[in-house]
């Protein structure tokens, strides 16, 4: 099981440019936290939360104190990465404030590495992804098993299909059809890892009416068939 680790950065502590496979969530405790990636500077105050994506060159420094949550790459879904990267500094809303306080308390009480942090992160992650996203994105994430049309999504946002597709690409980083496919494949991988359902049953749960089209799309996305993916995950689980 992937583990989240937490570090506290103190006044005038600087980290030179580097990269690694995990991402960061930044919670500033005092003053300000600075980070830079993709040639852009970002500042996280005590009323904001920051995100640094996995596997990108970055550097950071802190003028006060901050918690840095190191997030294993497999815990960040590919379908969300563009959105989180584009919105890498977010205001902590009233809805998020109790959760942030709970994370701080968990670190103080039980230390920087414990299972509770993992579950708190998942809740925080869902909130960060869902907040301020287009209605169409939320609809896709909740109705991926249904027949979804681009025209219907455009109507939901009160745009014509061509303008909607361009806006969706700008906001999310993918055209609508690719995003739908990625959400379905992410969910299919979860089902394959956690159940023993037949491939056709998995296909129908993620919006496909036959196993062959699902298998073809799964292979195009992951480079392997659903059964090959399941065997690989089972083998890795046994090694752990």
Output 12 or 109, whichever has higher pLDDT: 109
Q: What local confidence, expressed as pLDDT, does residue 209 receive?
A: 94
Are 189 and 212 in the same domain?
Answer: yes
Nearest-angstrom CA–CA distance, 149 and 115: 40
Nearest-angstrom CA–CA distance, 206 and 121: 25
Domain boundary pick from 114, 130, 146:
130
Is residue 63 scored above 80 in pLDDT?
Answer: yes
Are 64 and 11 a contacting pair, CB within 8 Å? yes
- Provide the domain limits for residue 21: 5-130
Are 80 and 10 in the same domain?
Answer: yes
Kindly state the average pLDDT of the residues 148-168.
95
Percent of the chain beyond pLDDT 70? 93
Closest CA to 169 of 183, 179, 158, 182: 179
Is residue 2 scored above 70 in pLDDT?
Answer: no
Domain boundary pick from 101, 130, 159:
130
Q: What local confidence, expressed as pLDDT, does residue 42 receive?
A: 96
Are 118 and 19 in the same domain?
Answer: yes
Is residue 239 scored above 70 in pLDDT?
Answer: no
- Count how many domains the chain has: 2
CATH number at 222 reads: 1.10.10.60
Are 72 and 175 in the same domain?
Answer: no
Is residue 51 scored above 60 in pLDDT?
Answer: yes
Are 109 and 150 in the same domain?
Answer: no
CB crowding 47-65: b at 16 or more within 10 Å, else e: ebbbbbbbeeebebbbbbb
Q: Please write the tens of the pLDDT for every residue from 23-34.
A: 999 999 889 999
Kindly state the average pLDDT of the residues 132-140.
86
Are 145 and 209 in the same domain?
Answer: yes
pLDDT tier, 70 (very low <50, low <70, confident <90, very high otherwise): confident
Domain boundary pick from 130, 161, 195:
130
Q: What's the whole-number average pLDDT of the chain?
A: 88
Q: How many CB atoms lie within 10 A of CB 168?
A: 25
Kindly state the average pLDDT of the residues 134-143.
92
CATH number at 62 reads: 2.60.120.10
Is residue 7 scored above 80 in pLDDT?
Answer: no
């Amino acid at each position: 099981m992937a583990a989240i680790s937490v570090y506290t950065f103190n006044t005038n502590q600087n980290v030179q440019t580097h990269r690694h496979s995990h991402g960061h969530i930044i919670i500033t405790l005092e003053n300000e936290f600075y980070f830079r990636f993709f040639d852009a500077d970002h500042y996280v105050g005590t009323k904001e939360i920051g995100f640094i994506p996995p596997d990108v060159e970055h550097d950071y420094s802190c003028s006060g104190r901050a918690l840095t949550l190191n997030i294993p790459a497999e815990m960040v879904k590919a379908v969300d990465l563009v959105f989180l990267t584009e919105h890498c500094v977010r205001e902590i809303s009233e809805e998020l404030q109790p959760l942030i306080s709970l994370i701080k308390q968990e670190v103080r009480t039980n230390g920087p590495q414990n299972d509770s942090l993992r579950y708190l992160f998942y809740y925080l992650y869902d909130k960060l992804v869902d907040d301020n996203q287009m209605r169409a994105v939320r609809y896709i994430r909740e109705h991926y098993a249904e027949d979804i049309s681009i025209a219907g999504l455009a109507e939901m946002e009160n745009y014509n299909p061509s303008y909607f597709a361009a806006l969706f690409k700008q906001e999310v980083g993918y055209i609508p059809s690719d995003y739908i496919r990625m959400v379905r494949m992410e969910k299919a991988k979860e089902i394959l890892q956690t159940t023993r359902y037949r491939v056709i049953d998995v296909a129908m749960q993620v919006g496909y009416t036959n196993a062959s089209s699902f298998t073809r799309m799964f292979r195009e996305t992951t480079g392997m068939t659903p059964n090959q993916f399941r065997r690989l995950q089972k083998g890795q689980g046994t090694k752990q």
